[in-house]
Structure 1
Amino acid sequence: MTSTTGFPDLLSEVRAFRARHPEVRYVDLISLDIPGHFYGKRYPIDMLEKVAAGSPLKLPQNCVLLGAQGGLFPIGDYCFNDGDPDAPRRLVPGTLKPVTWEREPLGQMLITSDGTAAPIEFEPREVLARVLQRLERRGIRPVVAFELEFYLFDRALKDGLPQFPRDPASGDADDQPNMHIERLSRFSDVLREMVETANAQGVDANVITAELGPGQFEINFAHCDDGLRAADWAALFCRSTRGVALKHGLRASFMSKPYLHAPGSGMHVHVSLYDPAGNNLLAADAQRPLRHAVAGCLALLPHCMPVFAANHNAFRRYGAMVNTASRASWGFEDRDACIRIPESDARNLRIEHRLAGADANPYLVLAAILCGMEHGLDAAQEPIAPLNEDRGSGIDFPKDMLGAVAAMRGHPAINEGLGAEFVMVYCENKRQDHLAFLQEVSAREYRWFL
């Protein structure tokens, strides 16, 4: 990591940070759990220096297993039969950055169990690390770029429901679906600070697009030849973007489908594969490896739906409005497909995986995509017809969480590719989270059935 962080070791990174930011007294040490939320500890910065020098850093292992609302479920022997043990974590070099959206000066730094003496098998970053290490042993280096869509809402909720954001200039609700460039101007202050804050976190965020939904935007990240860092960027961007929005009297949400009448928000992931000499593997042999990778992604997609659609709401995206597929499909320059092949030269040939909701866990989404591509390269089979040739082409996938969990849990290629222990833990976490979500009688049920 030395070559990418600019520091010879962690201790010099912490000391340099203290010299640049003497006002910072505390640093949030953060890691992403299974549902995609950050957990961690707030450390005095002098104690952080001790950790950087080699003092142990431990957190409860079961923090990774938290449900969407922060509770724990009995999963195998975890949570309630294991004594809730601590597990080692390490600091991720190059991620110590200032937090500018809080009221007091803070820092933050990513921590992870991957690369420790006892990595947590079901930690999302560790799952992705294992996949990347397996590909590296095969001489395959992914280059990855995330794109994230999100909505802005007014900060105040009305009867618990989100409200359209107010135009900062006119005060009117931004309730019109459009992709007009003027929306970027109206919300330029908050959008500019979102990008600048992300850049200050080391996230190479760049292009901003006004999307079709009211108050909906998309931010693109640069292509990155380090898959872990690319997923780090997506995770850190979500955290800082929410904070910046609150500073401006708004809410930023990556919820997959906040409005039934408007498009949902997706996590689009561009992936190309290179050999040690820098050649694009997908472009070789008249693009046959590209087609094999597509076929593998399509074959495993129905068994990865709990990863791509991480909650009950996320399943509402599929087949609704525009550019969200209802079946596993692919196509050239076709945004109706789950897997789009953007027009490019041979050097930049890639897939764009468009199925995941914006609130999915980026580490797990990328791990699942790479497993699909690897599976396809090994099987060397041709994919189904692209949508460009047959608009009805596609493979069915589950449209509800319980069906999706059942399809994922017993699939041999998923268990082998992502790890059997992870698959067991993840599926049970999602199953129980979904059942807990259903344990409330809604006003709609009373209207229908009382």
Structure 2
Amino acid sequence: MSFLLDHPEIRTIRVAAADLNGQARGKRMPARFADKVLQEGTRFPLSVLNLDIWGEDIDDSPLVFASGDPDGVLLPTERGFVPMPWLEAPTALLPLWMFHEDGRPFDGDPRHALARIVRAFTERGLTPVVATELEFYMIDDSGKTLRVPPSPRSGKRRQGAEILSLRALDAWDVFITDLYEACEAMEIPAETMISEAGLGQFEINLTHQPDALKAADDAWLFKLMVKGLARRHGFAASFMAKPYEDYSGNGMHTHFSILDRDGDNIFDDGGPKGTDALRHAVAGCLKAIPGSTLLFAPHGNSYDRLVPDAHAPTGICWAYENRTAAIRVPAGAPAARRIEHRVAGGDVNPYLMLAGILGAALAGLEDAQEPPAPITGSAYGQDLPQMPSDWGTAIDRFASDPMTARLLPEGLIRNLVATKRQEMRYLAELTPQEQVDLYLDTV
């Protein structure tokens, strides 16, 4: 409540939780009801966290008519209120997560799925340290075709990819300055921003932190903020996996290391190769990829990104300092030795993505298996096991793979499979342009 006392100008609030697609589902209310929500929470139907990408109920879901569409109890997360700088009126958002009436976490809540994994690390005296890199496009979607917006400084549209171009960053200085100020206000640890390979594409790094739940919260809130702030500036910002056929897709790469009880990095062997624990974690991540691809590529458009020679992985492999591999071990100081998981697109639900990555790494540590040898050279031309290359195959593998059941609760698996199969049926009825219109703003 102290946030609202410090900001008396805030007259309305939003309360919201992330559904399985990472969509914010919630309510608007006057700020005078904030204390009641903080003390008692609020209520949504359990089924609200299991809607399809259009916001529709899932056909034959056990959460809807079969059970009478019962309510869950939504309680505030540790985050508390955060401002919503992309809105005209001063407004605050209270992130929530869902519980049953008797206080049990609702298994269909993606934030609880990640919390289960974090607790499993804690029980073993381990702490994952996590950072995310988020790519997104700035897009003018006011016409029949998507275009890069005109620069506010020059009025010109940037016609070429300008990798790490300061000129491209300077062209969008007003928006980027507002973005950093919004991150500071929302306590999102935004670090470096660069111009990427696509037309109007940028990437921002969020700082490493020893709190995986906060890292997921930060990524979720960042996506909400950037999309809203861009609209306030007169264009769209999209994390859609592949908005342009001829340019790179949007990724969300995850870097992580693991600390022991003494705060030491268990991947650090004092040299460039890393410890046995690093290789075991890599082995777990590789083993989980076939069944977990749906977490990293959750939408129909996601698979347009996962193609050879497009700066996204296709083969299930790992390597040192090699961006064509699905799992990369970056160079650098041994104390900072870490794993980079490069499979996920920008269109993911950050909670499910991190649950899949960290859960797989923990399984690898428990199994203590060795991964195959690291590759050298481009992964695209090598004979490697491949990730599922289409949505339907990924859904089927997710539904049946034993590693999926090891990482996630049964109810969440069932709900997500039903959601994706319904979306696949309905998406087949849309034209390519309608599919772009669907994904551009939602994901």
Same fold (TM over 0.5): yes
Query: Quick one: distance in 1 between partners of 2:419 and 2:28?
Result: 26
SS at match of 1:104: coil
| Contact map agreement 2:40 2:75 (CA 8 A) in 1 | no
Query: Is 1:165 aligned to 2:155, yes or no?
Result: no
**Structure 1 stretch displaced more, 270-279 or 434-443:** 434-443
Partner residue, 1:30: 16
1:448 maps to which residue? Answer: none
Greater mean alpha carbon deviation, residues 364-373 or residues 344-353: 344-353
Q: Secondary structure at the match of 1:31?
A: strand
Instruction: Name the CA distance, whole Å, in 2 between partners of 1:31 and 1:317.
Output: 28
Segment drifting more, 287-296 vs 170-179: 170-179
- Please show how residues 133-172 of structure 1 align to structure 2 within 5 Å: 133-154=119-140, 156-159=141-144, 161-172=145-156
Confirm whether residue 92 of structure 1 aligns to residue 80 of structure 2. no
Gapped regions of structure 1 (runs ≥ 5):
1-13, 445-450
Match in the other structure for 2:419: 429
User: In the superposition, relative to structure 1, how do residues 415 and 443 fare at CA in structure 2: closer, same or farther (>3 Å)?
Assistant: closer
CA deviation map 1:160-204 (0-9, x unaligned): x32211111221212211212110000111012112102211111
For the 8 Å contact 1:273–1:280, the answer to whether it is kept is yes
Q: CA deviation at 1:441?
A: 5.5
Q: Which amino acid aligns with 1:383?
A: P
* 1:39–1:171 CA distance, 2 compared to 1 (3 A): same
Which runs of 4 or more aligned residues in structure 1 lie more than 4 Å from their structure 2 counterparts after TM superposition?
441-444
Q: Which amino acid aligns with 2:256?
A: V
What's the offset of the Cα at 1:55? 2.6
Identity of aligned residues (%): 33
Aligned to 1:202: 187
Separation in 2 of the partners of 1:112 and 1:273?
26
Name 1:366's counterpart in structure 2.
354
1:199-234 deviation digits (Å, cap 9, x = unpaired)? 211111121110010100001101111110000000
**2:66 maps to which residue?**
81
Residues 395 and 118 of structure 1, relative CA distance in 2, 3 Å threshold: same
Deviation at 1:394, TM superposition (A): 3.0
Equivalent-residue separation in structure 1 for 2:391 and 2:117 (angstroms): 24
Q: Give the TM-score, by structure 2 length.
A: 0.92
Deviation at 1:270, TM superposition (A): 0.6
Hey, what's the Cα distance between the residues in 1 that align with 2:299 and 2:196? 23
TM-score by length of 1: 0.91
Alignment match of 1:415 (pick from 384, 405, 413):
405
1:298 deviates by 0.7
Counterpart of 1:3?
A: none
Is the 1:387–1:393 Cα contact (8 Å) retained in structure 2? no
CA shift, 1:147, in A, is 0.7
Aligned length: 427
SS in 2 for 1:30: strand
SS of the counterpart of 1:385? coil
Which range is displaced more, 324-333 or 266-275?
A: 324-333
> Does the 8 Å CA contact 1:401/1:431 hold for their aligned counterparts?
no
Distance, in Å, in 2 between the alignment partners of 1:114 and 1:134 is 20
Match of 1:246 among 231, 235, 252: 231
Partner of 2:327: 339
2:108–2:411 CA contact under 8 A, matched in 1: yes
Alpha-carbon distance in structure 2 between the residues aligned to 1:427 and 1:421: 10
Q: Which residue of 1 aligns with 2:105?
A: 119
Tell me if structure 1 keeps the 8 A contact 2:63–2:70. no
State the shift of 1:347 in Å. Answer: 2.0
2: CA distance between counterparts of 1:250 and 1:147? 22
Q: Distance in 1 between matches of 2:173 and 2:52?
A: 35
Are 1:50 and 2:36 counterparts?
Answer: yes
Q: Which runs of structure 2 are paired with 1:284-299 in the superposition (5 Å)? A: 287-299=275-287
Cα distance in 2 between the residues matched to 1:393 and 1:378: 28
Q: Distance in 2 between matches of 1:278 and 1:241?
A: 34
Deviation at 1:88, TM superposition (A): 0.8
Q: What secondary structure, in the 3-state scheme, does the structure 1 residue paired with 2:420 have?
A: helix
* Pair 1:17-2:15 in alignment: no
**For 1:87 and 1:277, how far apart are their aligned partners in 2?**
39
Which moves more between the two structures, 367-376 or 279-288? 279-288
Corresponding residue to 1:278 among 263, 266, 272: 263
Distance in 1 (CA, whole Å) between partners of 2:203 and 2:362 is: 29
Structure 1 vs Structure 2 CA RMSD: 1.9
Whole-angstrom distance in 2 between the partners of 1:129 and 1:144 = 14
Question: Which residue identity lines up with residue 400 of structure 2 in the other structure?
Answer: G
Partner of 2:44: 59
**Matched ranges for 1:225-244 at <5 A:** 225-244=210-229
